[in-house]
A and B are shown apart, each in its own frame.
Chain A
Amino acid sequence: MPMGHTATAEAGTGGLTATEHRLANGLRVVLSEDHLTPVAAVCLWYDVGSRHEVKGRTGLAHLFEHLMFQGSAQVQGNGHFELVQGAGGSLNGTTSFERTNYFETMPAHQLELALWLEADRMGSLLTALDDESMENQRDVVKNERRQRYDNVPYGTAFEKLTALAYPDGHPYHHTPIGSMADLDAATLEDARAFFRTYYAPNNAVLSVVGDIDPEQTLAWIEKYFGSIPGHDGKPAPRDGSLPETIGEQLREVVEEEVPARALMAAYRLPEDGTREADAADLALTVLGGGESSRLYNRLVRRDRTAVAAGFGLLRLAGAPSLGWLDVKTSGDVEVPVIEAAVDEELARFAAEGPTAEEMERAQAQLEREWLDRLGTVAGRADELCRYAVLFGDPQLALTAVQRVLDVTAEEVQAVAQARLRPDNRAVLVYEPIAAGSGDAEDADETAEAAVTDENEESAK
């Protein structure tokens, strides 16, 4: 087979293995067999996200992701959706700061169709892209923005806090959804240029996981993707590196129609892929993950000043990660009361470090999260792409849980001391106006959702 390849098959977590291959046009391929259920997941990560966008065109990567579902040379209209769903599959795409992914989960005997569809749009999207699709999906995306951000209480918190945490001009200063004005300004030519620049086989990783025959799968991949020309016109994203700490407390007070006061904050944390990021994940879990965490016990159980309190980690590879604090107050409790308690708990944690029991709990929770993520073929395919695109090595996905379990209490304490400080955070305070005529979302889900959902936009 005409593939310069670097096949390896190492035993990974739970006996999972993955092999790596590369087509002549630069497309990287990762395969992982699992014959327990007759399903196969296809995942394609393009190394482009909102960090690659330029001023005046925020939201373009995500709008473009929608256009990828509007047909290509051999696929009419909504055919990507129709053909996959008609084959008993499911599909979607999402856009984050650092990448755009497209995925299909198929009954195993329909795998070839998904590969054909992905290849068709990678190679020929522009033969189908027209004004009608552009205008329609612009409206759809604007309604997505209204539904998920503008029409829900606290809906724009993520956008506001990100803009505070990353300075103006930084590639992560704006979020993937983009602004209404920029969505209005995007042109068909912008979309075409975006495709020509970023959608190339050598800027993507394709993973296929599940009940597959690897040799046959590789042959199909070569057949459908092999003739798509690669190109090297992609500009590097603007540098996302920043000093380790912010050095001051940034702050914004929002007066809006919200049902309760809220304290949200973003702490600047180590980049994903480092041992320090795993230590930070454990620190945030001890402090604010689940219902036995220090902040939950303090604010919700003991002080009873909050209705919900939690920490989440937004892992980022090309810029500092963010530690995401979200506290909604109880009754008429004022924000300074919450803030003082949070600062006290963080300072105490930095001084004492986690107890052995807390480490055990936090590691068990993160291990469980990994089991969930790797427990489906789609989850595994996505993680293999993630490690291949962001860190150059998909095998790291299979050993990620072990790295979290290797972190010591001292390392957790060290990252807390260095990073979880008032002078290393951006703070967003919500003060309700027009009491009684509010807007709100489910307070129970907010802390986690901020990290897992709100940084991604999706087509469906």
Chain B
Amino acid sequence: MTELATMDFHPQPQAGEARPWAFPAPERATLDNGLTVLRCHRPGQRVVAVEVLLDAPLDAEPVGLDGVATIMARAFSEGTDKHSAEEFAAELERCGATLDSHADHPGVRLSLEVPVSRLPKALGLLADALRAPAFEDSEVERLVRNRLDEIPHETANPARRAAKELSKELFPATSRMSRPRQGTEETVESIDAAAVRAFYEKHVRPATATAVVVGDLTGVDLDALLGDTLGAWTGSPAQPRPVPAVTADDTGRVVIVDRPGAVQTQLLIGRVGADRHDRVWPAQVLGTYCLGGTLTSRLDRVLREEKGYTYGVRAFAQVLRSAAPAVPGGASGAAMLAISGSVDTPNTGPALDDLWTVLRTLAAEGLDDAERDVAVQNLVGVAPLKYETAAAVASTLADQVEQHLPDDYQATLYRQLAATGTVEATAAVVNAFPVDRLVTVLVGDAAQIEEPVRALGIGAVSVVRAE
């Protein structure tokens, strides 16, 4: 039963004329100390974003010291030769600045954001942190304890717990990627100030680092400013580290991490696939969006909007690490291809059954032109919105550098997406998510979900009991 509306209706309006927009091209330069600098002027963006990439990847961590890159990254903001830890934090906040640092497989990244009026001061602090970090015993000890305190919180978080288990399943035990990025209780406990300093001495230097500066730089003499700050950082020359190949075991199987009493099951279904260097990437992006990029993609159309099993399930590809390819378009690194979300406990079996049906139907029938068109229009059309802030532009430019991609990569990708057809997108997504080569991690109540999941026949099922 519906009712009549009393308004005047008009036909759906047509779009006006699109105004041109292109992903910004940065200027690239090298400072005397070897630091690579990318800069990009974005009018009106009064909060400037600065990203610094250090060639200090997780695979460089010494054996038994997983987490030392993370502790080093955090320790950068805990005092320098000029300021104590408390003073350093206070000086940054006095600038209205934020400085986040984290370590991941490709390296350590520092992200500074600051109103342009206080950029000189904040860049000076950032340069101090890189050039002369204090790494005081007591501060490092505190960071280690703090990190140890965080681990049980992460273990208890269903999404993080699932991610940890998937890494352990996919990658060989000898690979750094099989182990938690920020270390385990056992390895973190072994980290001290000497270990942090040794890691810093060995892997942190301007010659293998890159800084990306984005924002409204009107009236800013960036060359002079960089010269006084990041340009004053010195270090020995070095070659970039070789990037180890990524291998993974994607034999189809299911691992249930038992969480007695959980009202939902966290799903993480993944494997490893092509990175941005592979020519299939644009088609993989497009196909993955059609599968699970948004609420109107195939997965949510069934799991959420038809069945109500979930608040939302997403498919995505996230680059783990890339190297410069030997030949253009050749293999280089790997991305995690995954489907994640959570479904209510009683509907875990039916939800997975539907999910597999969506994948099988996709493989059998392919995408249709209409959904491909909408996906392209979204992925390409949202670019001006997505890159409105300096931070968003800086982050993508930094990703490109980190993944050994050319500076015009993102701009090119938009053109490639627009030129990718339905058939290519179908092939890419079916290849990315083959039904018999997916590792499924379920964090949930094993007593309730194990039997229904076994009955689906989506791979051997094992259970990790609650720790």
Contact flag A153-B153 (CB < 8 Å), given A73-B5, A88-B378, A126-B3 = yes
From B160, B259, B385, contact of A107 by CB (8 A): B385
Which of B95, B153, B160, B312 has the most chain A CB atoms inside 10 A of its CB?
A: B153
Q: In the complex, which residues 362-413 of chain B have their Cβ closer than 8 Å to any Cβ of chain A? A: 373-374, 377-378, 380-385, 388-389
B171 within 8 A of A: no
B43 within 8 A of A: yes
Give chain B nearest CB distance to A27 CB in angstroms.
12
A162 within 8 A of B: no
A197 within 8 A of B: no
A409 within 8 A of B: no
Chain A, residue nearest B444 (CB): A151
A127 to B4 alpha-carbon distance, docked (Å): 6
With a CB–CB cut-off of 8 A, which chain B residues contact A438? 152, 155-156
A151 & B262 in contact (Cβ 8 Å cutoff):
yes
A267 to B455 alpha-carbon distance, docked (Å): 52
Chain A, residue nearest B149 (CB): A307
With a CB–CB cut-off of 8 A, which chain A residues contact B236? none
Q: In the complex, which residues 348-400 of chain A have their Cβ closer than 8 Å to any Cβ of chain B? A: 357, 360-361, 364-365, 367-368, 371-372, 375-377
Contact with B along A298-334 (1 / 0, CB 8 A): 0011001001000000000000000000001011000
B180 within 8 A of A: no
A116 & B13 in contact (Cβ 8 Å cutoff):
yes
From B9, B118, B156, B263, contact of A440 by CB (8 A): B156
B13 & A14 in contact (Cβ 8 Å cutoff):
no
Contact with B along A130-169 (1 / 0, CB 8 A): 1000011111101110111011110000000000000000
Contact flag A113-B10 (CB < 8 Å), given A105-B385, A307-B146 = no
A361 to B98 alpha-carbon distance, docked (Å): 12
B115 & A367 in contact (Cβ 8 Å cutoff):
yes
A74 & B13 in contact (Cβ 8 Å cutoff):
no
From A112, A147, A224, A440, contact of B16 by CB (8 A): A112
Contact flag A460-B384 (CB < 8 Å), given A86-B378, A301-B142 = no
B305 within 8 A of A: yes
With a CB–CB cut-off of 8 A, which chain A residues contact B6? 123, 227, 229
A144 to B312 alpha-carbon distance, docked (Å): 8
B308 & A146 in contact (Cβ 8 Å cutoff):
no
Which of B17, B21, B152, B373 has the most chain A CB atoms inside 10 A of its CB?
A: B152
With a CB–CB cut-off of 8 A, which chain B residues contact A232? none
With a CB–CB cut-off of 8 A, which chain A residues contact B381? 87-89, 107, 110
Chain B, residue nearest A122 (CB): B7
Contact with A along B288-326 (1 / 0, CB 8 A): 000000111000010011111111100000000000000
A182 within 8 A of B: no
Q: How many residues of A contact B (CB 8 A)?
A: 100
Which of A105, A113, A297, A361 has the most chain B CB atoms inside 10 A of its CB?
A: A361
B467 within 8 A of A: yes
B52 within 8 A of A: no
Q: In the complex, which residues 71-100 of chain B have their Cβ closer than 8 Å to any Cβ of chain A? A: 77, 85-86, 89-90, 92-98
Contact flag A143-B264 (CB < 8 Å), given A38-B21, A112-B16, A301-B85 = yes
B254 within 8 A of A: no
A436 to B260 alpha-carbon distance, docked (Å): 13
Give chain A nearest CB distance to B394 CB in angstroms.
14
Give chain A nearest CB distance to B221 CB in angstroms.
22
A29 within 8 A of B: no
B152 & A259 in contact (Cβ 8 Å cutoff):
yes
Chain A, residue nearest B379 (CB): A88
B308 & A143 in contact (Cβ 8 Å cutoff):
yes
A68 within 8 A of B: no
B149 & A443 in contact (Cβ 8 Å cutoff):
yes
A234 to B1 alpha-carbon distance, docked (Å): 24
A437 & B466 in contact (Cβ 8 Å cutoff):
yes
A265 within 8 A of B: no
Give chain A nearest CB distance to B284 CB in angstroms.
19
From A39, A135, A440, contact of B157 by CB (8 A): A440
A146 & B384 in contact (Cβ 8 Å cutoff):
no
A78 within 8 A of B: yes
A119 to B5 alpha-carbon distance, docked (Å): 12
A276 within 8 A of B: no
Give chain A nearest CB distance to B20 CB in angstroms.
8
With a CB–CB cut-off of 8 A, which chain B residues contact A82? 296, 374
Give chain B nearest CB distance to A453 CB in angstroms.
14
From A38, A368, A444, contact of B97 by CB (8 A): A368
From A36, A89, A228, A257, contact of B382 by CB (8 A): A89
B8 within 8 A of A: yes
A146 & B264 in contact (Cβ 8 Å cutoff):
yes
A304 & B145 in contact (Cβ 8 Å cutoff):
yes
B338 within 8 A of A: no
A223 within 8 A of B: yes
A109 & B16 in contact (Cβ 8 Å cutoff):
yes
A443 & B150 in contact (Cβ 8 Å cutoff):
yes
With a CB–CB cut-off of 8 A, which chain B residues contact A119? 7
A108 within 8 A of B: yes
Q: In the complex, which residues 38-95 of chain B have their Cβ closer than 8 Å to any Cβ of chain A? A: 43-47, 77, 85-86, 89-90, 92-95
B18 within 8 A of A: yes
A255 within 8 A of B: no
B343 within 8 A of A: yes
B46 & A136 in contact (Cβ 8 Å cutoff):
no
A152 to B262 alpha-carbon distance, docked (Å): 9
With a CB–CB cut-off of 8 A, which chain B residues contact A328? 149, 153
A147 & B12 in contact (Cβ 8 Å cutoff):
no
Give chain A nearest CB distance to B87 CB in angstroms.
8
From A73, A138, A146, A153, contact of B263 by CB (8 A): A146
A215 within 8 A of B: no
A90 within 8 A of B: yes
Give chain B nearest CB distance to A193 CB in angstroms.
12
Q: In the complex, which residues 218-260 of chain B have their Cβ closer than 8 Å to any Cβ of chain A? A: 259-260
With a CB–CB cut-off of 8 A, which chain A residues contact B96? 364-365, 367-368, 371
With a CB–CB cut-off of 8 A, which chain B residues contact A140? 304-305, 308, 310-311
Q: In the complex, which residues 285-302 of chain A have their Cβ closer than 8 Å to any Cβ of chain B? A: 290-292, 297, 300-301
From A129, A142, A224, A361, contact of B2 by CB (8 A): A129
A124 within 8 A of B: yes
With a CB–CB cut-off of 8 A, which chain B residues contact A36? 43-44
B344 & A123 in contact (Cβ 8 Å cutoff):
no
A108 to B149 alpha-carbon distance, docked (Å): 48
A441 to B155 alpha-carbon distance, docked (Å): 9
Give chain B nearest CB distance to A237 CB in angstroms.
26
Contact flag A137-B308 (CB < 8 Å), given A126-B3, A365-B93 = yes
Given A123-B6, A460-B295, 19 other A-B residues pairs in contact with their CB atoms under 8 A: A38-B21, A82-B374, A124-B5, A124-B9, A142-B308, A150-B264, A152-B158, A211-B19, A260-B149, A304-B145, A330-B149, A360-B94, A367-B96, A375-B389, A437-B467, A439-B157, A439-B158, A442-B160, A460-B312
14 A-B pairs, CB-CB below 8 angstroms? A39-B384, A89-B382, A110-B16, A116-B10, A123-B6, A124-B5, A138-B308, A147-B264, A148-B311, A192-B3, A223-B10, A292-B90, A297-B86, A442-B150
Lowest 8 CB-CB distances: which A-B pairs, in order?
A88-B381, A139-B308, A440-B156, A368-B96, A124-B5, A123-B7, A438-B156, A440-B153
Query: Which A residues are closer than 8 A to B by beta carbons?
Result: 14, 34, 36-39, 73-74, 77-78, 81-83, 85-90, 105-113, 116, 119-120, 123-124, 126-130, 135-140, 142-144, 146-148, 150-153, 192, 211, 220, 223-224, 226-229, 257-260, 290-292, 297, 300-301, 304, 307, 328, 330-331, 357, 360-361, 364-365, 367-368, 371-372, 375-377, 436-444, 460
Query: Which B residues are closer than 8 A to A by beta carbons?
Result: 2-10, 12-13, 15-21, 43-47, 77, 85-86, 89-90, 92-98, 114-115, 118, 142, 145-146, 149-150, 152-158, 160, 259-264, 266, 294-296, 301, 304-312, 342-344, 373-374, 377-378, 380-385, 388-389, 466-467
